[in-house]
Structure 1
Amino acid sequence: MKKLLLFLCLLAHTGLSQSTQIDSLKRELVLLDKNPSGYARDTLRYQTLKAVMRAYSDVNVDSSMHYNTLMIGLCKGSGLQKELVYAYQYAGYLYQIRGDYHQSIRFHYKALPLAEKLKMHTRIAASHGALAHAYTSLKEYARATKLCKQGLAVLSHYPDAVIQLSILNVLGVIYREQSQLLNALKINQTMYNLAQSKHNVWYEAHGLHAIGLVYKDMGDLPKALDYHKKALVLARKTGSIELEGNILLNTTDLYARQHQWKQALAYCMQAKQMAIQVKNSSIVAEADEKLYKIFKQTSQPDKALEAHERFVFLRDSLSKDKNQQRIETLQAQYDNVQKTNALLAQKNKYQQLAQTRNGLFLGIAATLLLALLLFWNNRRLQAKNVEINQQRALLESARKQLADINRTLEIRVDDRTKDLVKANRELIQKNEEIKGALFKGQTIERKRVALELHDNLSSLLSAVNMSIQAINPQNLSEPEQSVYRNVRQLIQNAYAEVRNISHNILPAELDREGLATTLTTLVGQLNQNSPLQFSLTITGLQERLPVEIEFNVYSIVLELINNTIKHARATTVGISLFRTDTGINLSVIDDGIGMGHNPNKPGIGLQNIQARLDSLGGILTTVLSAEKGTRILIKIPIETVRFNGD
């Protein structure tokens, strides 16, 4: 209910005074039609039609176009050539508003030669500017640029500041949309300087706004923001709600790009509140769209959803209302035409009665002539029917041939599809074989490296240790004995480290016993040698997993345990491994200090884990506790859909 009330408020017209003015002008038109025809009546009727047309342009474009059509007809019938130029140009303006740029171009090209014939130089320049505007909307920038320069050339001899400002505005848009930003900046600065010299506050504000848009495209957001704020001050003096609203919304966008969400929200709310006060629903809709993005970025999902619902609801409602207005306008025009036709029919009825008697004599002669024509046409129709039947038979034969071709083509397409499906399955199978061979090669290489470490480097360290033991520490001085003890300790540490590395590269127990037994042994060893207390829960792993998954899961658990020991400052660590219908779920939970304020910047260990998960198609989720500790959740699929459900 609240949404409906908001919608009704926003769709209300800008005021009853405009409707009253239009109704008054329409009554004047009815009174003028009763006056004797002549130049005076036509001139007054033109002025009244012009006033109604302009009044409707802010309320109902379809009605404005209807009265523009009446004005064009009046100018043509009464020989009002100069007025016809204006009527054509206004028609082009109305089509530009509706987005029908080709029709806009057509009417401006009607106005241009007539203005040239009458030597209406400012109207010529205005047509050039309007055509450039339409071609810019169609992205035909070369033609639009040429038209702008032609219009400015005319104005260099016959100045008109307002038309010159409008052409400079179009030219600035052309350069900016083509990313010729330096040219756009120069043109917009010229437009601003001219508006300032002519005290045209609207174009002053618009010029500053356009300069700010160019700096935004250049990436200089602070400077763009400065120009937008200056433009906003001037726009508020003009009373133009549309201009002020656009500047506020663009300022909102600048703050959003700089992630200054508080300022972006403030300007966006200004635009929306201002638009609601004057019932400008288009600005309200755009503001709600931007509010949705702001609330989404500031982690306010409820407000973001509410703003998005308002935006979608208002957008759809405006579209529906606009279509309804057009239908009602067309219906009213149709009713007027029907009434006019009824009056004409009544008038013609009396004239026809007077002519009926004379028409009877002509009717008899015409009937005889018609009978002859019917007989002749009947003979021709029979011949045509024969020809049509022949053509129909040919057409039916062609249809059958086409149907046969279509069936053949469908069979070929089905065969080709089956071949592609088979090839795709073979390719998937080959990829799996390659993947298995790659992992097998990696396993062999890991075994070789582990054996090299264990057999060679461990033997070497044992030999060094034996050589060191041959030294009698009693013959050494006190400092030398300290060095001797340190060296022996370092050798023992190195030997232990080499054994751990060779074991972790490819634990023999993992190959023999499987993941569950290996992890149980690992946790038991950790609880003997580490001040941390580890707990392990394994569910549903009665059967062995694929060897690739077992090795990677073991490596991931080992990496997470090392990270916890080195960085977490925890006292307890819980490890849980759960077998599901489609894969396995792994969680590692500790009560340590957590991952700090930048969990999105993982270290080398987490990067290695992510690389392993990418190869398995798994996902990793980090959950930070509100109090302390870290929870790592990992999901790895095992059964996957290969192709078309096979």
Structure 2
Amino acid sequence: MTEKIRQLEADLQAASGDAAKADALNELAWHLRDTDTKRAHELCGIAHQLSSLAGYAKGLAYSLRNEGAINFRLAEYQEAITKSLEAMAMFDVQQDALGRASALNTIGNTHRRLRDYSSALDTHLKSLDIRERQGDRNGEASSLNNIGTIYQTLGDHAKALECYIKSLKIMRETNDEAGEAACLGNIGEVYYDLGNYEQALGYHTEVLAMSERTEDARMQGITLGSIGKIYYRQNDAARALDVETKGLTQLQRIGDKSNQVDLLSHIGKASLATGQSERAIERLQQALAIAEEMEDKELVAGVHESLSEVYEHLGETGKSLMHYKKFHLLSSEAHDIEAANLSKCLVIELEIKLSQQETELHRLRNANAV
């Protein structure tokens, strides 16, 4: 548990009155959304109920904002869009520009995950503009980081680095250590993509030291995985295996299933490179079980692809072909689901906007009639 979380837990215990309790619940839920998503979901559910019963509009808006962000992390994309738009409508009534920017952030992340990069970039730029005008330095850094992620995904490493470096400068100026660590990790990933492994290793090593100091188990696990992949590319599979196994322990401890699948898959690859074929298959089967439990077809497809490669290496053509066929089928299904999700999300956005316009027209007609 980090010092920040300890303080927020104490604030929640000390909160008196419905509004103060709702605010404390929302604040704690927001900071737990990455590291303990299940508890964060429970907390903002309580905040939502408490705010609704008390007629506390601000608490309700922020609980919806939180729910949208958590839905995004749970891959519930339609719900993420719906909750975020509902929160935005409430923030607009309350003239809470920063709340609106935060909800836009989740919408932008959702579009990015659904590979609608144009909409994602447009949404994050709107969020960035609000945060710059409001003087929200931490929010500005977060938006720049998200914009950098889009450029990195599109292969524009120069623009990605430009955004990350701007974000990093702000994070350091505002002493946002968690944000700084995330940003440094992203810069490390850019250099990894470019094949500059020593520079990438330098950034990830710095992040690891920070995450150990702040007791951020999730960041430790992810960073150890990144360092392991660098060692693997440097033809040191044994060292990669050692580091990645330590990272897996951290991710298992906090129940981060998605990153466990990624790390288990790479541990399988490193195990094969060190001649441990049985261990490679065992780790990949573990990854497959978790991915299937999550019902994430894209993750399941990726593990089948890795299993196909392992069996091909072992000369077991039949098993290799079986897993490759599953990879191909599931990849196609995942693409179809992604496209359907994007289409539904766009329809939801349009319907909510039209509903809001109708409400405003109705209000104006009534005002003119008076």
The TM-score normalised by the length of structure 1 is 0.44
Look up the equivalent residue of 2:200 and give its one-letter code: A
Alignment counterpart, residue 47 of structure 1, candidates 57, 62, 70? 62
Measured after TM superposition, the shift of residue 28 of structure 1 is 6.6
Contact conserved, 1:189 with 1:211, CA < 8 A, in 2? yes
The alignment status of 1:120 with 2:136, answered yes or no, reads yes
Higher strand residue share: 1
Measured after TM superposition, the shift of residue 210 of structure 1 is 1.0
Alignment counterpart, residue 153 of structure 1, candidates 169, 175, 180? 169
Alignment counterpart, residue 253 of structure 1, candidates 254, 269, 275? 269
Contact conserved, 2:114 with 2:341, CA < 8 A, in 1? no
Residues of 2 paired with 1:60 and 1:204: CA distance? 26
> For residue 233 of structure 1, what is the aligned residue in structure 2?
249
The alignment status of 1:301 with 2:317, answered yes or no, reads yes
In structure 2, relative to structure 1, the CA distance for the partners of 1:105 and 1:59 (3 Å cut) is closer
Contact conserved, 1:49 with 1:71, CA < 8 A, in 2? yes
> For residue 71 of structure 2, what is the aligned residue in structure 1?
56
Residues of 2 paired with 1:94 and 1:283: CA distance? 17
The alignment status of 1:311 with 2:327, answered yes or no, reads yes
Measured after TM superposition, the shift of residue 139 of structure 1 is 2.1
Alignment counterpart, residue 287 of structure 1, candidates 281, 289, 303? 303
Contact conserved, 1:192 with 1:207, CA < 8 A, in 2? yes
Look up the equivalent residue of 1:137 and give its one-letter code: T
The alignment status of 1:143 with 2:134, answered yes or no, reads no
Measured after TM superposition, the shift of residue 247 of structure 1 is 0.7
Residues of 2 paired with 1:148 and 1:100: CA distance? 21
Measured after TM superposition, the shift of residue 280 of structure 1 is 4.1
Contact conserved, 2:64 with 2:83, CA < 8 A, in 1? yes
Higher helix residue share: 2
Residues of 1 paired with 2:196 and 2:290: CA distance? 34
Instruction: Look at both structures and tell me which one has the larger radius of gyration over its CA atoms.
Output: 1
Look up the equivalent residue of 1:247 and give its one-letter code: L
Measured after TM superposition, the shift of residue 191 of structure 1 is 0.3
Residues of 2 paired with 1:138 and 1:98: CA distance? 13
Residues of 2 paired with 1:59 and 1:66: CA distance? 13
Residues of 2 paired with 1:124 and 1:339: CA distance? 30
In structure 2, relative to structure 1, the CA distance for the partners of 1:248 and 1:121 (3 Å cut) is same
Residues of 2 paired with 1:213 and 1:251: CA distance? 9
The aligned runs of 1:62-73 (5 Å cut-off) are: 62-73=78-89
Alignment counterpart, residue 195 of structure 2, candidates 168, 173, 179? 179
Residues of 1 paired with 2:347 and 2:122: CA distance? 26
Answer with 51-60 or 288-297: which moved more.
51-60
> For residue 12 of structure 2, what is the aligned residue in structure 1?
none
Gaps of 5+ in 1: 1-16, 355-646
Gaps of 5+ in 2: 1-37
Measured after TM superposition, the shift of residue 340 of structure 1 is 9.2
SS for the counterpart of 1:91 is helix
Alignment counterpart, residue 100 of structure 1, candidates 116, 138, 143? 116
Measured after TM superposition, the shift of residue 344 of structure 1 is 10
Alignment counterpart, residue 206 of structure 2, candidates 187, 190, 204? 190
Look up the equivalent residue of 1:266 and give its one-letter code: E
Residues of 2 paired with 1:240 and 1:294: CA distance? 25
Residues of 2 paired with 1:135 and 1:313: CA distance? 29
In structure 2, relative to structure 1, the CA distance for the partners of 1:321 and 1:90 (3 Å cut) is closer
The alignment status of 1:271 with 2:287, answered yes or no, reads yes
> How much is the aligned-residue C-alpha RMSD, in angstroms?
3.7
Look up the equivalent residue of 1:122 and give its one-letter code: N
Residues of 1 paired with 2:356 and 2:176: CA distance? 44
Measured after TM superposition, the shift of residue 195 of structure 1 is 0.2
> For residue 19 of structure 2, what is the aligned residue in structure 1?
none
SS for the counterpart of 2:100 is helix
Contact conserved, 1:28 with 1:48, CA < 8 A, in 2? no
Contact conserved, 1:136 with 1:144, CA < 8 A, in 2? yes
In structure 2, relative to structure 1, the CA distance for the partners of 1:340 and 1:198 (3 Å cut) is closer
SS for the counterpart of 1:299 is coil
In structure 2, relative to structure 1, the CA distance for the partners of 1:153 and 1:324 (3 Å cut) is closer
Measured after TM superposition, the shift of residue 188 of structure 1 is 0.4
Contact conserved, 2:81 with 2:348, CA < 8 A, in 1? no
In structure 2, relative to structure 1, the CA distance for the partners of 1:184 and 1:46 (3 Å cut) is same
The alignment status of 1:81 with 2:81, answered yes or no, reads no
The TM-score normalised by the length of structure 2 is 0.74
In structure 2, relative to structure 1, the CA distance for the partners of 1:245 and 1:78 (3 Å cut) is same
Where relative contact order (Cα < 8 A, 6+ residues apart) is larger, the structure is 2
Contact conserved, 1:101 with 1:137, CA < 8 A, in 2? no
Residues of 1 paired with 2:106 and 2:345: CA distance? 19
SS for the counterpart of 1:85 is helix
Aligned residues: 324
Residues of 2 paired with 1:331 and 1:115: CA distance? 27
Look up the equivalent residue of 2:64 and give its one-letter code: L
In structure 2, relative to structure 1, the CA distance for the partners of 1:317 and 1:330 (3 Å cut) is same
Cα deviation digits, residues 335-384 of structure 1 (max 9, x gap)? 88999999999x89x99xx9xxxxxxxxxxxxxxxxxxxxxxxxxxxxxx
SS for the counterpart of 1:179 is coil
Measured after TM superposition, the shift of residue 50 of structure 1 is 1.4
